[in-house]
Amino acid sequence: MPTSSTKRTIPPDFDDESTAKRVKATEDAIAVALAKGILQRTWGFPNFKLKQEAAIARLMSGDSATVVFPSGGGKILVSQIPAPAFDDCDELCGRTSGKGVILVVSPLIALMEVANLINPP
């Protein structure tokens, strides 16, 4: 996730709050369109499910997201889709590209160890 020094913000020349909101909404729409295109081209799904779109939009705008979905809920796509879209989104929104980072914390190994304690191999 971007640190406070790299967090994406609306340029300071937009001092009018309504203009800033419109710019933010436009940037969010660009991010979601890019993400949806990647979803369709790469994985062949027509639409996001659950709250994937909301989480991806947060990540693409530079915010953090914690995602807890059931098995098969599409958690991995939330981390895989923004990564290739960051640079394109930044370029289209007039920002410096190359600053997007995704950090995924997965408890898989811990879950495997617990499973081995319950049902030894």
Asked whether residue 95 is domain-assigned, the answer is yes
Report yes or no: 22 and 14 within 8 Å, Cβ to Cβ.
no
Q: How many domains is the chain partitioned into structurally?
A: 1
DSSP for 42-110 reads II--SS--TTHHHHHHHHHTT--------TTS-HHHHHHTHHHHHHHHHHHTT--SS---------HHH
- Domain housing 34: 17-118
Asked whether residue 8 is domain-assigned, the answer is no
pLDDT at residue 73 in the model: 85
Q: The CATH number of the domain where 67 resides is what? A: 3.40.50.300
pLDDT band at 9 (very low <50, low <70, confident <90, very high): low
State pLDDT tens for residues 55-93.
998 888 778 888 888 888 888 888 888 888 887 877 787
pLDDT at residue 26 in the model: 80
Query: pTM above 0.85?
Result: no
To the nearest whole number, what is the mean pLDDT of the chain? 78
State pLDDT tens for residues 93-111.
777 777 667 777 777 777 7
